[in-house]
Structures are given as C-alpha cells and as structure tokens.
Structure 1
Amino acid sequence: MVAEVVAGYLSGSTALLADAGHNLGDVLSLLLAWGASALAARPASDRYTYGFKNTSILAAIANAALLWFALGAVLVETVRRLFDPQPVQGGMMMIVAAVGIAINLGSALLFMRGSKGDLNLRAAFLHLLADAVVSASVVLAGLAILLTGLTWIDPVASLIITIGLGWSSWDLLRDAIRMGLLAVPRHIDDAAVRAFLQSRPGVSAIHDLHIWPMSTTETALTAHLVMPGGHPGDAFLRELAEALAHEHRIDHATVQIECNADDCALIHHPPH
C-alpha cells in the first residue's frame, strides 16, 4: 500500500492511488478482524453474558463502511483527473502493480479456507482477491499508456476500477448490515428450521421463534414449543440442540416447553 501511494504520486497515476486506497481498506479490514477475533475469544462476564462475540459483526460493518469511504475518496480524485489529465509514467505503474498482483494473490490464499463460514474472513479474502484483479487492471492501463501515450487512460481505468470494486463489495455491505440488525443469517433457512421444530414428536405448535447471529460464525435460536403431552424431559432438549447444530448450523438453542397454547401471552402478539 505504501509503495503504491509513493509510486502513484511519483508517476501521477490515479489508478495506482485507487489500488492503494483499496489496499488501505484491506489493511484496516485485517486489523479490525484481528481485533474482533481477539475480543471474541474472551470469556463471558456478568455484564457481557455472551462475551464479546458480537464485535466480529461490528468489525464487518466497519470494514464495509471503510471500504466505501476509501472508494469515495478515490472517485473524487479520479473525476478531477478526468477533467485535468496529468502526465503518467506507465512503466512505473506496471512494475508496482505487477508486484501487487503477487502479494495480493498470496495473501488471499491464506484466507481461502476460512472464508466460507466467517463474514470477516470472507471480507478479507474478497478484498485481497479484488486487489489482485485491480493490480492486473493497472498493469494493462500502464501498458496502454506506454503504447499510445494517452494520459486519459489512467483516470478512466481508475474510474472503472472504483465502480467495479463498489459493485463487488455491495453484497458484503448488505450482509454486514443484516447481521447488525440481527437478521436470520444467509446460510440458515428459517422456514426449514420452523418445519423441523414443528415435526418433532409431541409438538403441536411453535411460536416466538427467533434466529439471530451472535457473531459472524455463531448463531443463536430461541423458541416456544407447545407440547400438550407434557415436558418430554432433558434428553429431548439435548437431542434437539444437537440436531439444530448439526443439521442447521445453529450453535446456541434455547427452547421453552409449554403444555397449552394459552400458557404464553406472546402467542397473541401480532409479531409472533
């Protein structure tokens, strides 16, 4: 990132600065994810009964916001350069961007395995992978400038890169905000979970079902099950929690058993 900022100013390339801006977002993203991971590992306390697991969600939201802020800053400079093109050293652009391709691809591989189940790791993986693509685009832009001498190629390449990065990061921003609002995580089918609970032996009805993310990797559930035959015992609850964990990836399940549908006042509330 530092090399691209220096080279961007020396060569006059906004495309390099655009890549550096995105790399700055990656550095901050990794630091935030690292900090959130460390906090999430801390034990629960009397005040923070879930511990600090939720900090990973806050980090994901901050990461998405920082990325868009960096893209906005680069976009402003790009538009200015479109109306006032400056001399650009295409050769320096190509050399620095080529090094960036190797570094970003190698870094992205470190996050590939964990990116499927953790939004923070997915954010880091996508940022680094996108950086490799951006660096490749800068190499091509530098080559085009060397061959044609047209300086407007640089701000146009920067504009295309910025728009592309904004488009590709939209899902990340949307998922982070959804987690912050405690929406059902994308990988969980709430209708399937409801059907699963409803199909348990002895269950006649289910209400007050809530599924929400405790962190970017853990999910919690609470539900009220109406069982007219009476409480089925602790073994039923233990097996239910294990099934929810293995079949639906729900880590923390809390179930309340009710013998009659009218036992719970919440069932009459419209949201439930």
Structure 2
Amino acid sequence: MHGGGHGTAAGKHAGRLTWAFILTASYMVAEVIGGLITGSLALLADAAHMLTDAGGLLLALIAIRFAQREATPQRTYGYLRMEILSALANAIVLLLLTVYILYEAVQRFLAPPEIMSLPMLIVAVIGLGVNLTSMWLLAGGSSESLNVKGAYFEVLSDMLGSVGVIVAALLMMWKGWTIADPIIGAGIGLFIVPRTWILLKQALHILMEATPPHVDMAALEKELAGIDGVTAVHDLHVWTITSGFDALSCHLVVRTMDNNVAILREARRRMKDGFHIDHVTIQIEDEALRAEEAVLHV
C-alpha cells in the first residue's frame, strides 16, 4: 500500500492556501453585497469568481487533508487522487459560471440597468488588493501542483476581473457608457476559459492514467532496453498518481536470471536520474517465463 506518507505537491503550500482562503472568504461577502447594491454585472461576475475561489481554496485544503491519510487495503494509494478531483471540480465550476455570466450579459445588453459607479469602483479597488495578495501567496505552488494551479488561476481571473470592473466604473463615471458593464462582465467570463480548459484537460489526462506530458516513452523504453543483460521490454506503463508523483510498471526480459538484483538497481537508477520517476515496479523474467505469460494471456 502507498498512502498518506507521501507528501503531495499541494501539501507543501497548505499554509499559503489557508491564508489565501481567509483573505478570499473574508472579502467575498463584501464584494457580493457591493455587487447587489450597485447593480453591476461586472462586479457581480468578479464576486462570483471570488466565491468560486473561496470554494476552490477550501476544496484544495480538504484534498490536502485527505491526501495525508494512510492507505487502506481498499485504497492502496490512500486519497492522493483527491487533489486531482478537486482540480477537476474547480475547472467545471468555473466553466459553468462563465456560461451564466455570458447569459446575464446578453440580458443586460437588451435592457441596461441603472448602476452606481462610484461604490462599484471602491469595491473593485479593494478587491484588486485582495486578489494581488492571494496571487502572491499561491504563485510559488502553481507550477508544482494542479490543485494549487487551479486556485491560482481562479485568483488570477479575479484579479483581472477587478481591473475590468475598475475600467468599467471609470468609463461609466467619465463617459456615461453603461454598456461597458455587461461588456466587461462578459470579458471577465471569457478570459479565463482557455486556462480553465487547459486545467480541465490536465486533470482528465491524469484521471485517465495517460502518460505524463514530460515523459518521452520511446526514450524511456530505449533507456531500459539499453541495460546490460536486458533483451526486451514489454507491458510498459507510466502514469501520474497526483501532481509531482509519477509511477512506472514494466516487464524486463533478461538473458539469464543470475543478475536480477543488479539489473533492477540499474533500472531504478536510470528512471530516477533520467525521468524523475521514483515509484517503479518492475518484473524481471527470462524468455521461458515470458512465453508462459503469453500463453496465460491468450
């Protein structure tokens, strides 16, 4: 079994995630109230993203806690995949939220409401400060963990949303362009879609146990086949358990079974040094065992 003893990439940044959650959740209430009072779609869109941020950060923290649980006979990898499920949930919620924002923008194009631009501006400026602080807290972990990356993208969308709300408020104050509000609101929703789509694809890629993007399978197989005494490599699989934790399994066919320990050590060393894969499961067999296995699989 392989469980909670393995620290996830997100786990290293739990403290920063916690502070980002506190900041986001604390300001979220004020921004929602501000959006309702001013009647601004752009501000409500930013508030909705802030709400999603708070939920995403909370999911990330819950996933870290689950990932630290010990493995069981029923879950031999423990709860390490909770991080990926959290990232998947974040991506889906963001995409659904964008659909709602675009629908609301169309309605406001048809019937522009009255908007209080000055309170809207004040709320957006405060929100920008909160978002920039949260981005600073999460920036380091976004390159190591899909979970942290999901939270970082949500805060990034909020930061850009706050900038958009500020622009919309200034345009309405200076030019009286009420149409700026639904335009900016729709823009906030559309901007994050490509990044959210990438996050969604990455999470699904891991859940489908596909080969990690950074692993060249042809080069990896060649490296294993090049070990002295190895005649063939088959049933080779490489997949990701959670961010920063790749696993490999394969069968190595050898000329003689007399040097198994040395071959196994060399295979592990090459996988760790050349491909950064530490969790390696290798079956060593001679031609006779391979033939027996082939008969069993027929």
Q: TM-score, normalised by structure 2?
A: 0.84
Question: Is 2:242 the partner of 1:215?
Answer: yes
Please state how far the C-alpha of 1:48 moved relative to its aligned partner: 1.2
Summarize the Cα distance change of 1:240–1:132 in structure 2 as closer, same or farther, 3 Å threshold.
Answer: same
The equivalences for 1:41-80 within 5 A come to: 41-80=68-107
Q: Which runs of 5+ in 2 are unaligned?
A: 1-27
Please state how far the C-alpha of 1:119 moved relative to its aligned partner: 0.7
- 1:85-126 CA distance string (max 9 Å, x none): 011122222211111111111111112222212111111122
Please name the residue that 1:205 is paired with: 232
- Secondary structure of 2:230 counterpart: coil
Distance 2:74 2:80 in 1: 14
Summarize the Cα distance change of 1:27–1:223 in structure 2 as closer, same or farther, 3 Å threshold.
Answer: same
State whether residues 160 and 188 of structure 2, in contact with CA within 8 Å, keep that contact through their aligned partners in structure 1: no
Distance 1:21 1:236 in 2: 56
Summarize the Cα distance change of 1:267–1:103 in structure 2 as closer, same or farther, 3 Å threshold.
Answer: farther
Distance 2:126 2:65 in 1: 31
Identity of aligned residues (%): 38
Alignment partner for residue 259 of structure 2, among 222, 232, 240? 232
RMSD: 1.9
Please name the residue that 2:294 is paired with: 265
Distance 1:89 1:267 in 2: 74
Matched AA of 2:41: T
Please name the residue that 1:10 is paired with: 37
Q: TM-score, normalised by structure 1?
A: 0.92
The equivalences for 1:116-195 within 5 A come to: 116-195=143-222
Distance 2:254 2:294 in 1: 16
Equivalences, count: 269
Matched AA of 1:54: R
- Secondary structure of 1:169 counterpart: helix
Distance 1:81 1:247 in 2: 56
State whether residues 230 and 253 of structure 2, in contact with CA within 8 Å, keep that contact through their aligned partners in structure 1: yes
Stretches (4+) displaced over 4 A: 266-269
State whether residues 208 and 266 of structure 1, in contact with CA within 8 Å, keep that contact through their aligned partners in structure 2: no
Please name the residue that 1:24 is paired with: 51
